[in-house]
Structure 1
Amino acid sequence: MKISIYKRKLADGRESIFIEYYKGSVVSKDGKRKHLRDYENLQLYLHKNPKTQVEKNENKETLKLAENILAIRQTEYIQGKFDIKNTTKAKRTFLNFFSEMVDDREINFSHDNYGNWKSTYVHLKKIVPTNLTFDEIDENFVKKVKDYFDKQAITKSNLPLSQNSKHSYFNKFKACLKKAFDDGFLSINYSTKVKSFEQAESQREYLTFDELQSLAKSECKYPVLKKAFLFSCLSGLRWSDINTLKWCEVRDEGDVSKVNFRQEKTDGVEYLYISKQARELLGEKQEQQERVFKGLKYGMTYNTEIIRWCNRAAVSKHITFHSARHTNAVLLLENGADIYTVSKRLGHRELRTTQIYAKIVDSKAREAAEIIPELKIEM
């Protein structure tokens, strides 16, 4: 395509300036050649025969502005604003491209990040044809994927996706579209065309001290799971960090014990002091490179056992392994730890993340519930 300035004479003697987009020509069935042109009216005008210096200066400034607009349009053309695609890249299949992004997360990002990308990929394979290429993607396709996450997608437990899962999975899909645009596989950034799902404030399920005590006394089918879960309640470590914890990261320094480890999620190095009871849960030290919780696995078997374990302990809440981390935060705050210390122990990058737990243990709000004098009610 050739993009240039085009001038058209007006009845009042001025010239109107346009941007001309010349798209080549075609030959009709009767052998006549037709040139394909589009025009953009810039609403800029020139004096046809400038007579004064003022008119000459006005023409000069108007032409300079038109040339600047022309340069912008030519740049937009190069960037693909006119659906000009790299035909080789456009024939790349979307799912193959997304799969490579998932693999990259497994190598270079945290376990949690990789897990979310992998789950998104599993869902996308249900809605996106395996042979769909980038040149077949349009806004309707993006809306179709969003509609799938909103109304059709279900969890492994055959339940609809939570609002936050919709938000997370669809944003991973949009991130892939943006990467494809940046890398030249798409000529239009479709990630900006469809609005994301709103993110809901997640409910953090946790155990009270009495419930945790009940769990500690109850039988769990897998001893390593019980030990790891209770250790998370006492230390606040995530499952991913507990799962990879090695004995070389457990430091006994006199009467004090701590774990020095690199967080899977944030990749930050942490130095976490642990209580004597938490250290006792770990048992005697083994070979330096051995996992502390040998045999611990992530999967439906262990997740189901947590539910059964809670049933034996008469705990009716929906508890997952991550609830142990929430439990640690709540118990610390309830027993006098300040929010900054709790934030540091949990490895939060922002204090506002920890403030969610402070809402749970808001003693002032609890006192306010009883501040109204008791009514004498007759029914």
Structure 2
Amino acid sequence: MFSNVRIEKLILSNYRNHKFLELELKKNIILICGKNGSGKTNILESISLLTSSSGIKKTNLIETVNSNLKGPVELFGVNLLCNINNKKMKIGLGLKKNANGLKKIINLEGLKTNKKIDEYFSIFWISPRMTFLFQNSKEERRSFIDQMICSIDFSFKKFLLQYEKYKSERIKILKKWNETSEEWLSLVERKLAATGIIICDARRKFIKQLNFNLSELDRPFHSLKIGLSGELDSLLLKKPAIEVEDFFLKKLKENRRKDILTGKTNFSANKTDLIVLNENYDREAKNHSTGEQKVIIFLIIFSFMKILKNQKDLKVIFLLDDVFSFLDKNFVLRVLDELNKLKIQTWLTDVSGDWIMKKESFKSIIHKINIDE
């Protein structure tokens, strides 16, 4: 299946170092080139913020506004002309001041909307932070898996947001009313448990697909096995979801006093960690060399792209930030080739990109843009 979403035009106004930038895109693969500090990643970040609160840079919104902007924040903007299923759609991202600082405003066809952009398409990105995926926090590894799932299942992000909402609501009830509001508390806990199991089960099914694809790789890569460390994840491999949901609900009730004291949910669907094991050596990915870890990350991405091939309605955009600096060039070329076959619009950054443009097979499919010019 081919991806059915394209950004045909991107306009940035007072976005970080870009006072004004207009790009018209003609091809599936867009290569943004320029000196370090020229704002290449800023372009990718502006796109990533459409479906994420902090984007590819994990930033605070106030940092995205051009530091030289003297006028109102409304002069800031990210405007796109998109083609989704052969229909043109204008999308705008702006900022508005509120009590907490700034909030994002999304416009569709010039009108403010409460709809989320990820109802229309998803965005998946790879950044230099991926180099340290197995040294970073378990939240980042979990986010890596969740982002891939969101690319093929638009409802998954909704469940993630609902889960956080119920978790926050439960802690507020416990802190304010202790356990005196039993009926309300039990209702929220039932919702939390049900949503948590939906999330865990979606992860389980996705990882099962990844493992199947990894098992079909040539030696020695077929020995990689992905798993999740959470207790709920382990139980779902052995028991029906309804039984695991009851167990989760029981744990929530047992932990009420502990959660009041700590102010957090101590037993949760989001306590899990991504485990990648090389069965040939009985060794986890975190114990491999940095070079081997990079290969493992790309093998997971390759397995993910095999899953994308089988999607009936593929709507995803890829952002690859500075991947040439931390990943093997041959791997990058293979990934770009696969993405092009899937007709997935892919944005990537590099200082010059000269080496890739020397490849005859890529000249016709890459739109190179030098933002230094």
Q: Report if TM-score (shorter chain) is over 0.5.
A: no
Q: 1 or 2, which has the higher strand percentage?
A: 2
TM-score normalised to the size of structure 2? 0.24
Q: Which structure's relative contact order is higher, taking Cα pairs within 8 Å and 6+ residues apart?
A: 2
Question: TM-score, normalized by length of structure 1?
Answer: 0.24
Q: Which protein is bigger by CA-based radius of gyration?
A: 1
